[in-house]
Amino acid sequence: MGGQQSGIKNKMILEFLSVPENVGLARVAVAAFAAQVDMKLNELEEIKVAVSEAVSNSIIHGYGGDPNGMVRVEVERNEEGLVITVEDKGKGIEDIALAMQPDYSSSPERMGLGFAFMQSFMDHLDVTSEVNQGTRVRMFKNIEKVVEK
Amino acid sequence: MQIFFSMEGKQLWARIKGELDLENADTFRQELEANLDHARPEVLVLDLTGVTFIDSSGLGVILGRYRRLKKEGGKLIIYRPQPQVRRLLELSGLGKIMTIMNENGEQIGEGFNNGWSAIRN
């Protein structure tokens, strides 16, 4: 993952209960953190969608809707970009490759596009998971220097 | 999120304001279903002018209503999505199967072929 070795410029850790109200809180907090450096509006929108999807996955799939779980979001900014980690201690994913397929979804009203959006909007994505231990999604977004705002 | 419903001829208009995500996906779905049950329109127009954010939870609700209307011989039209919302509609493949219109009533977004073929009609 790019930028891992570089020095950390800023860091934020956010932990909250696995309730749907916190999806908006998480994406707005991460976007505000990201906006400390000049970013294109489009990139902020992409970050918001990726965070929203990762946190929603933790709530719906990780904890299966149980509102008593904790979701942890960690964001680091280094010279190259943002590293966003979303972690839960939920039921985990048995087959990550299968879960990441665009049309994979455990329910007909959900589109199974969460991972596809994360992959499409971030420059790097990796997912680690252990059954009954939890899931960790790590995403990296390059920060391109914006000359004019 | 707020939805304002009105009937215009045989079209049910749903003017939506706010953000569409997991927090309000259930309310969004229930309100649309209740109004579809009651009004039985030929066309459902989702006016997304006031929608500032959407993710796969919101898109899932739209897809569900599209499927219902299609089954009942009706139609769903997406009206005036903001650029970031339109981009997600297109990336998700929904833009390919649904009619998206701008403020002049012109169809937009047709022929966009970046969508994942995730949506099965």
pLDDT tens sequence across A42-59:
999 999 999 999 999 999
pLDDT value at residue B111: 39
Per-residue pLDDT for A37 more than 70?
yes
Residues of B in contact with A112 (CB under 8 A): 56, 118
Binned at pLDDT 50, 70 and 90, residue B121 comes out as: very low
Averaged over A36-45, what is the pLDDT? 92
pLDDT value at B30 more than 70: yes
CB contact under 8 A, B118 and A48: no
Residues in chain B within 8 Å Cβ distance of A102: 116-118
**Least confident segment among A99-108, B34-43, B91-100:** A99-108
Nearest to A113 among B23, B53, B56 (CB): B56
Question: Which residues of chain B does A56 touch, with a Cβ-Cβ cutoff of 8 Å?
Answer: 21-22, 55-57
Please tell me the distance from the alpha carbon of residue A23 to that of residue A27, in angstroms, as a whole number. Answer: 6
**Per this entry, what is the length of chain B?**
121
Confidence check: pLDDT of A27 > 80: yes
Across the interface, whether the CB atoms of A23 and B63 are under 8 A apart is answered: no
**What is the C-alpha to C-alpha distance for residues B22 and B89, in angstroms, rounded to an integer?**
17
Across all residues in chain A, what is the average pLDDT? 90
Please, are residues A120 and A49 in contact by the beta-carbon 8 Å criterion? no
pTM of the model: 0.90
CA B81 to chain A, closest CA, distance in angstroms equals 15
Mean pLDDT estimate for chain B: 89
Nearest CA-CA partner of B40 in B7, B79, B4 = B7
Contact residues, chain A, for B91 at CB < 8 Å: 117, 120
DSSP string over B53-99: EE-HHHHHHHHHHHHHHHHTT-EEEEE---HHHHHHHHHHTHHHHSE
A56/B119 touch (CB, cutoff 8 Å), yes or no: no
Catalytic annotation, residues of A = 53, 57, 110
Cα–Cα nearest to A111, from A57, A31, A33:
A57
Q: Mutate which of B20, B22, B33, B114 to test chain A, going by most A C-beta atoms within 10 A? A: B22
For the segment B84-117, what is each residue's pLDDT rounded down to a tens digit? 999 999 999 898 889 999 887 778 765 343 344 4
pLDDT band, very low/low/confident/very high, at A107 (cuts 50, 70, 90): low
Size of interface A-B (CB pairs under 8 A): 70
Q: What is the rounded average pLDDT of the residues A25-44? A: 95
Alpha-carbon span A128 to A134, nearest angstrom = 9
Question: Do the Cβ atoms of B118 and A102 come within 8 Å?
Answer: yes
Over range B29-35, report the average pLDDT.
98
CA–CA distance from A117 to each of A54, A79, A80, A101, B54 (Å)?
Answer: 10, 24, 21, 11, 12
Distance CA A106, CA B100 (A): 28
Q: If you search the block for the tokens 């397929």, which residue do you land on?
A: A101
For B83, which residue in chain A has the nearest alpha carbon?
A: A42
